[in-house]
Structure 1
Amino acid sequence: MSAALLTETPLSGRVAVVSGASSGIGAATATRLAELGASVALLARRKEKLDALAETITGAGGTAVALPVDVTDREDVHAAARRVEAELGTADLVFNNAGVQLISPITDLRQDDWQRQIDLNVTGVMNVIGAFVPQLTAAAEAGKPADLITTSSIAATRILEKFSVYSGTKAYISHLTRLLRVELGQKNVRVATIEPGMVDTELPDHVTDPDASTLMTDLIDRIDVLQSADVAETVAFIAAVPRHVNLTEITILPTAQAI
């Protein structure tokens, strides 16, 4: 194999798992990881979108398996982890990305929205960790690179009106990964967090508060916001650096975003 080809496929031989893979950052990242040589397991609830993405990836010469799963269901996620190992091999790259953003004033008492964010952004993240950490540690023990990369947000640290519950879930993720790094780093599993600013994805479509929705739409219209592919390239870079290098926390902002 030529040096040029190795450069073009730095993730060759890797087995990647992407949650929230049916759209946005997840779909773009799964596509990019496959382009760089990884075999990719696609996890999300929307089977039709997963199947279409898997077909696109395989049609371009990559390897992808669509695994419809609700990450808030622990047993469902563990079943998906068993399928990944059986069909692709031991996962050594997990992009823990599924999440939802529902913005509203706390005084609106939209407790169903609060719970949905906690269920997906916290419980779903923990379920993926619980299902795949054994495979990551096994990969590291075998001498392979092993990566647990989780999507947080700049909302984890910035004070944004009406983002209370969403920001709380993302702060949990950002701090959790710092703590996980203490334990898993000793086992040669790299733990990283990405904290994007404004990305042009489906997330703003989920916002039910009219004022918050208008604010986010105006920001997208006013500045050159991030695209999903920008975040995907960052995830790929984190995974492709030498095994002894851990890029721990990366904030990704549109150049023109001031908050």
Structure 2
Amino acid sequence: MSNMFDLTGKVAVVTGASSGLGRDAALSYADYGADVALLARRKEKLDEVAREIEAKGRKAIPIACDVSDEASVKAAVAEVIEHFSKVDILLNNAGIAVAGTVEELSEADWDKSMDINVKGLYLMSKYVVPHMKKQKYGKIVNIASINAIIADKGYDLARHAYNTSKAAVRGLTMGMAATFMEENITVNSIGPGLFESEMTADSLFKHEGFMKLYNGLSPASRPGRKGELNGTIIYLSSDASSYVTSQHIIVDGGFSIV
């Protein structure tokens, strides 16, 4: 029986690939046989990830890209096509979490959240989808959050712009999935629970009261560990999910069910 999870010969594009969950996913793609285009604003960090991927025997190209800027995205995708000639997988992972209620958030912080978390996903898809349509094949995986469907209580934990932007990711995922399935392009989203990353290490993980509450409520009694999101990402990026589209898979150790 062939390995439906094998990504040999595929080209994956990962945004926010310089650290955290994006870096882990990029390395996992390489482990399953894919070549990887690494996109983020910090080129020096991408160079490090590219070297790790090449050490696994796969090809990697690091590209400095601001996903909220159309010219930057257009140029980045053109560079990927010039280098690899195609895109099979797009992992829209780049994102930020700005704390604050609607009363506290500045307009600039609100706009920044929407620009990176929603507009960035739209722009990347805008320039990648035409190439997927040409080859009649594509896997788009959008990283949303459990905060698309649940919120954190308390003023000190409120992230209203983040809640809004991640709910919008679900909406765009469904819209694209409904349109592009006939082109053999699947579009799904993932809702991670709490994982340690640059985004959470200096905020939620340092909030003693929150961590105690999270671990107490979670059926897993802990946050997600490094690598525990990769299985879901590989599944949705591989032919194992060829008839799966518009789904939102929550990976949170059961936190959202209690």
| TM-score relative to the length of structure 2 | 0.87
Q: 2:35 aligns with which of 27, 39, 45?
A: 39
Quote how far apart the aligned CAs of 1:49 are.
0.7
The farther-off stretch of 54-63 and 219-228 is 219-228
**What is the match of residue 225 of structure 2?**
227
Q: 2:118 aligns with which of 101, 108, 122?
A: 122
Q: 1:166 aligns with which of 150, 162, 169?
A: 162
Aligned 8 A contact 1:91 1:136 in 2: yes
Find the residue that maps to 1:107 and give its secondary structure. coil
Q: Distance in 1 between matches of 2:105 and 2:254?
A: 34
- Give unmatched runs, 5+ long, in structure 2: none
Q: Distance in 1 between matches of 2:113 and 2:209?
A: 20
Alpha-carbon displacement from aligned partner over 1:82-125 (angstroms, at most 9, x marks no partner): 11111112101000110001122322233332221111111111
Quote how far apart the aligned CAs of 1:164 are.
1.4
Q: Distance in 2 between matches of 1:121 and 1:52?
A: 24
Between the two proteins, the alignment pairs up a number of residues equal to 249
Aligned 8 A contact 1:148 1:190 in 2: yes
Q: Which 4+ runs in 1 deviate beyond 6 A?
A: none
Q: How does 1:23-172 map to 2 (within 5 A)?
A: 23-140=19-136, 145-161=137-153, 162-172=158-168
The farther-off stretch of 168-177 and 248-257 is 248-257
Q: Note the aligned Cα RMSD (angstroms).
A: 2.5
Q: Distance in 1 between matches of 2:188 and 2:140?
A: 6
User: Structure 1 130/110 Cα, relative in aligned 2: closer, same or farther at 3 Å?
Assistant: same
Aligned 8 A contact 1:92 1:147 in 2: yes
Aligned 8 A contact 2:146 2:256 in 1: no
- Give unmatched runs, 5+ long, in structure 1: none
Quote how far apart the aligned CAs of 1:9 are.
7.0
Q: How does 1:196-215 map to 2 (within 5 A)?
A: 196-205=192-201, 207=203, 213=207, 215=209
Find the residue that maps to 1:165 and give its secondary structure. helix
